[in-house]
Structure 1
Amino acid sequence: MNQAYEAQQTAYANQQAAWDAYMSVKRANGPRIDSLNAQQERAYQNMKSAFESASLAHNMRDGASARMYADQGHAYKAEAQDCVAERRQLVAEIRAARERFNAVKPAFQAAKSEFACARQAFQSAKAEHERAQAEFKKAKAEFDDCAKAVKDRLDELNSAHRKRRKDKKSIAEKAGVPSQYRDNVWISKDSDGNTNIYFGGIGKPDGPGHGHYVMDQHGTVTYRRDPFDPHGTQNFTDAPGGILYDRRTRTYVPGGTLYDRRARTNTLPLGVSNRDNDTNDRSGVFYDRRRQIDLHVTQYYKDNYRVSWDTDGKSNKNYHWTNQSLPSSHTDSHIPPEDAR
């Protein structure tokens, strides 16, 4: 639009200059033309009067007067013709100036029309810009509202996350989880109210080699296994002596008849196996936390004795001794060894 405006202004300046020149010539020549018109009219009237007087003198046979009046008439005629010639020249100058004005006038009209079109296009573009700007402001306001809502929600989630981390850390601390693991624990609750705490696994708290503590609804830790420690009933805090059934510990075993064998033989178990009561699986897993099933545990001794019991993850029961050196039908095959009495 600026280019069209500049073209219009240039064309207008040219037209105005031509108009000013035309008016200047007209103002300069106009009065002279009027004067020449009056002078011509006087010369014409004088010429007419002189020729009439010459004709009258000629009719009266006054040749001298007729000649004199005739000469005067011709002089007035020449004066009138000079006025006409000069007037024609002045009028021609005015016409030439007007023609020059008329020559530049179409250029201005074209430039004016082009500017009007450009201005209309500009106004349309301006209106579209203002509409788009209004839509942008509206969209920006909506975006700002959404961004604020997202930020508020993130702040809320982060706050909740920090609270959960703090709560989990507090639970881990209460359960006695080593301090180096408390910032990264996985906690779940069983249907019976027990709280499971996993930590120290590879890649994640409950990854391979993880530690596992169980705390009941009263805040008592009933199971404690640190990272990479073996599974087994020795991890139950309410197991005899807190470890596997060891015949050296001389601790009382539930059932009232089984004691350790350290007093006489200082006997340690050679190994431990287990049996899943539901599947008879002998995989060596002492406690299946996923299925929460009872396990059957057996300890073997080098004197060919073994002791078995059932566990539900909370307590041991059904202790059973077997002397594998005797046939299963022998009446003494299930009598505990002397150091277990």
Structure 2
Amino acid sequence: MHLQDAELYRLRSVRDTAKQRQQTAWQTQQSAYERRSSANAIMNQAYEAQQTAYANQQAAWDAYMSVKQANGPRIDSLNSQQERAYHNMVSAFESASSAYYARDGASARMYADQGHAYKAESQACVTERRQLVAKIRTAREQFEAVRPAFQRAKSEYTQARQEFLSAKAEHERAQAEFKRAKAEFDACAKAVKDRLDELNSAHRKRRKDKKSIAEKAGVPSQYRDNVWISKDSDGNTNIYFGGIGKPDGPGHGHYVMDQYGTVTYMRNPSDPHGTQNFIDAPGGILYDRRAQTDVPGGTLYDRRARTNTLPLGVSNRDNDTNDRSGVFYDRRRQIDLHVTQYYKDNYRVSWDTKGKADENYHWTDQNFPSGHRESHIPPEDAR
């Protein structure tokens, strides 16, 4: 209905461009969201792996500390005991040596036995201490073995988190761009809607105005909602209605109202063209051949007053060939442009319609040859 409105066409074009930008922005946002989701999943997996590695490291550390705390005091005690036993051993062997040189064999033997006992005690302390240190060393090695796994997991999580943060920032930028594109599209769509509302309002007003004009002209009520109105340069208003397919289609009705609101021409749908449709004066119709004789029920160009004959018919100029391609037929509006009414006494009256008011009426007496000076004198009973 509004295809010819340039502003609506422009607004729709702008809206379509904005819609394309919105769709592109949405696709970009969606792709960014998918990358963000993927990066988030990878980061979460890396975090779980880091937590597992940390738990393993912590368990190894706790085991190491437990072994160390359990055996550390004993190792310290063994160190002290071994040191005392060592000193006692040295002292006993020195005493045994002194007794030996003093030719005191019994004392030498006694001190020697004490020295060997202290030596055995010292060696026992060393052996036990080595065992305990080995336990601590094993626990330490187990802890050191799991540390690299945690460090790798921690590094992988850090990298995954950086990639996620980058994807998140990209998604947020795309999201903001989509919001801007959507706001732009919404504004354009609103502008189109506002223009449509404006045009529809104007259309309703025009339709109401046309209906009012049709009502003022006396167009039958069943046609008033669908009329086509045009205005001539002389101020006359043409009202078309009741045509096939459209108000001014084949068989349409046609009223003309002058600039003062007076109806000067009335032809209802399917009625023939002719001067009978003109309303020019009270009680009379242009070229009404009843003017000289009062014949009740007479019709336009009814020459029964003198000839007692009815018109033989009405035709457009090219009906004989059924050719509608000539200048006497308007294809677009599907209306005759030239009409002829003829009688048995060889009189004919012709006029131009032009789809508006009839004009250029002229009579032809076919009893005279073409070009005869009296061939176009109207009959006596023609007004």
Deviation of the 1:271 alpha carbon: 4.5
Q: Secondary structure at the match of 2:112?
A: helix
SS at match of 1:135: helix
SS at match of 1:222: strand
Deviates more, 1:233-242 or 1:130-139: 233-242
SS in 1 for 2:255: strand
What's the offset of the Cα at 1:246?
4.5
Cα pair distance change 1:194/1:334, threshold 3 Å: closer
Correspondence 1:105-254 to 2 at 5 A = 105-238=147-280, 245-250=287-292
- Specify the SS of the correspondent of 2:265: strand
Deviation (angstroms), 1:263: 5.0
Between 151-160 and 227-236, report the one with greater CA deviation.
227-236
Query: How big is the shift at 1:267?
Result: 4.3
CA contact (8 A) 1:260 1:340 kept: no
Following TM superposition, by how much is the alpha carbon of 1:237 offset from its aligned partner in structure 2, in angstroms?
2.0
AA partner of residue 219 (structure 1) = G
Of 155-164 and 81-90, deviating more is: 155-164
CA distance in 1, matches of 2:106, 2:84: 25
Aligned counterpart, 1:85: 127
Please say if residues 260 and 339 of structure 1, whose CA atoms lie closer than 8 Å, have aligned partners that are also in contact. Answer: no
- Tell me the CA shift for residue 63 of structure 1: 1.2
**Is 2:146 the counterpart of 1:104?**
yes
CA distance in 1, matches of 2:135, 2:159: 37
Counterpart residue number, 1:25: 67
Residues 232 and 285, structure 1, Cα contact 8 Å, conserved in 2: no
Measure the CA separation in 1 of the matches of 2:211 and 2:373.
Answer: 56
- Measured after TM superposition, the shift of residue 307 of structure 1 is 6.3
What CA distance in whole angstroms lies between the structure 1 residues aligned with 2:278 and 2:63? 118
Q: Does 1:15 align with 2:54?
A: no
1:295-320 CA-to-partner distances (Å, cap 9, x unmatched) read: 7x875443x36365877987978876
Q: 1:251 to 1:137 in 2, by over 3 A?
A: farther
1:213-263 superposed Cα distances (whole Å, 9 cap, x missing partner): 1212111222222112222222222289665745335379xxxxxx98655
- Relative to structure 2, which stretch is displaced further, 36-45 or 263-272? 263-272
CA–CA distance in 2 between the matches of 1:289 and 1:83? 125
Q: Match for 1:50 among 72, 85, 92?
A: 92
- Distance in structure 2 (CA, Å) of the matches to 1:228 and 1:261: 23
**What is the deviation of 1:266?**
4.0
The match for 1:306 is 347
1:164/1:5 CA distance change after superposition, 3 Å: same
2:266 alignment partner, SS class: strand
Larger radius of gyration: 1
Higher relative contact order (CA 8 A, sep 6+): 2
Identity of aligned residues (%): 80
TM-score (ref. length: structure 1): 0.81
Change (3 A) 1:337 1:127: closer
Shift of 1:38: 0.7
How far apart are the structure 2 equivalents of 1:199 and 1:107?
92
Q: Secondary structure at 1:247's aligned position in 2? A: coil
Q: CA deviation at 1:78?
A: 0.4
Q: Residues 261 and 288 (structure 1 numbering): CA distance in 2 closer, same or farther, change over 3 Å?
A: farther
User: Which AA in structure 2 matches 1:96?
Assistant: T
Ranges in structure 1 where 5+ consecutive residues have no aligned partner: 253-258, 277-282
Counterparts of 1:90 and 1:267 in 2: how far apart (Å)? 147
Q: Give the Å deviation of 1:268.
A: 3.4
Alpha-carbon separation, structure 2, partners of 1:268 and 1:5: 107
Q: Which amino acid aligns with 2:153?
A: A
Query: Against the structure 1 CA distance between its residues 176 and 289, is the aligned structure 2 distance closer, same or farther, given a 3 Å change threshold?
Result: farther
Please give the alpha-carbon distance, in whole angstroms, between the structure 2 residues aligned to 1:194 and 1:169: 17
Change (3 A) 1:284 1:222: farther
1: CA distance, partners of 2:118 / 2:247: 133
Counterparts of 1:329 and 1:139 in 2: how far apart (Å)? 78
CA contact (8 A) 1:262 1:339 kept: no
Contact kept, 8 Å, 1:47 with 1:77, in 2: the verdict is yes
Matched length: 327
Shift of 1:86: 0.4
Residue 205 of structure 1 aligns to a residue in which SS? coil
Using the alignment, how far apart are the partners of 2:292 and 2:251 within structure 1? 32
| Alignment correspondent of 1:255 | none
CA distance in 2, matches of 1:223, 1:288: 23
Q: Is the 8 A contact 1:239 1:316 kept in 2?
A: no
Label 1:64 to 1:298 Cα distance change in 2 as closer, same or farther (>3 A): closer
| Alpha-carbon distance, 1:338 to partner | 7.0
